[in-house]
Homo-oligomer: A and B are copies of this chain.
């Protein structure tokens, strides 16, 4: 906390999940209304979903979509910083950042409850698979895994695809995060929804709950709803934004298809209690982790790698 010697026992998180239309101004208005609703319900740290200002344009590679990007600070950060100050809440605001001519990032900006821009995070892990053509739009982030000391909680901000990488969650934890937020845009290919849809959603929830457990932190995912794209294709965004506690138990979860705010009260002492009960940070074997910066340990694979001595390295 920036100005409290003894942090309060709790902080309250609000997640804004919403469908996005073609008109950016309407999306911004919807987000503002839902932020006010979340604040009315007591939320102190309010997070929007990935690229909330527009449709998820990465379903195609179109140079015209770069027009959606804007600088930081810029019009969107100005608008929401004012809202943060007026409501006295912390805002986590994702946007399509234009860093310079021909250089763009998938970014979140963190605004403190007095409207100060505390900083930004740029999405580190960039996906690229059918209908998620993000490598076309976004240069991989170069800001590491910062944490932000807001008025109400110390927040680590990661974005969507980052959620599949335990390394990112761990580094945010080691940097001191109490709460890790994952603004997201993930959905089903309609043709796959009936067959593998539930397994995909299950995996998404499990891996993020796993990060909470491995690290003893609160984790929140914020995901859009609604169908975007052609009627016979596109993506069905699966919503179901949730907050889980440092034991991985889900505290609150949103619907699969409605605009709504998801609210959860986070008991800060649970972080300490959980880490005393299961003291994983005490026992990390940092002397044995050098290989994590390798792409693949190729010399460990193939015939003979499992030597009789057990593969001393």
Contact = CB atoms under 8 A, between A and B. Distances in A.
B213 A305 contact: no
A142 B155 CA distance: 35
Contacts of A165: 214, 280, 283-285
A312 B167 contact: no
A308 B121 CA distance: 10
A286 to B, nearest CB: 5
A284 B295 contact: yes
A209 interface: yes
A7 interface: no
Given A247-B199, A310-B121, A174 B290 contact: no
Interface in A269-290: 277-281, 283-290
Contacts of A206: 206, 209-210, 213, 248
A4 to B, nearest CB: 11
A297 interface: yes
Interface string A102-143: 000000001000000111111011110100000000001011
A301 B167 contact: no
A142 B174 CA distance: 24
Interface string A205-238: 0110111011000000000000000000000000
A313 B148 contact: no
Contact of A305 (B147, B311, B313): B147
A74 interface: no
Nearest to A72: B310
Contact of A286 (B161, B210, B294): B294
A166 interface: yes
A311 B213 contact: no
Contacts of A166: 166-167, 170, 210, 214
Contact of A146 (B2, B207, B300): B300
Given A199-B249, A310-B121, A310-B143, A167 B292 contact: yes
Contact of A122 (B129, B149, B308, B310): B310
Most B C-beta atoms less than 10 A away, residue of A120, A146, A294 = A146
Contacts of A312: 142-144
A242 interface: no
A101 interface: no
Given A165-B280, A210-B211, 14 more contacts: A124-B285, A125-B283, A143-B309, A146-B305, A147-B305, A164-B213, A167-B288, A171-B288, A174-B291, A175-B297, A176-B302, A176-B305, A207-B213, A207-B214
29 contacts: A119-B306, A121-B310, A125-B283, A127-B283, A143-B309, A143-B310, A143-B311, A146-B305, A146-B310, A146-B311, A147-B305, A148-B305, A149-B305, A150-B306, A155-B306, A164-B214, A164-B278, A164-B280, A167-B284, A170-B292, A171-B297, A174-B291, A175-B291, A175-B301, A176-B300, A199-B247, A202-B249, A210-B213, A290-B293
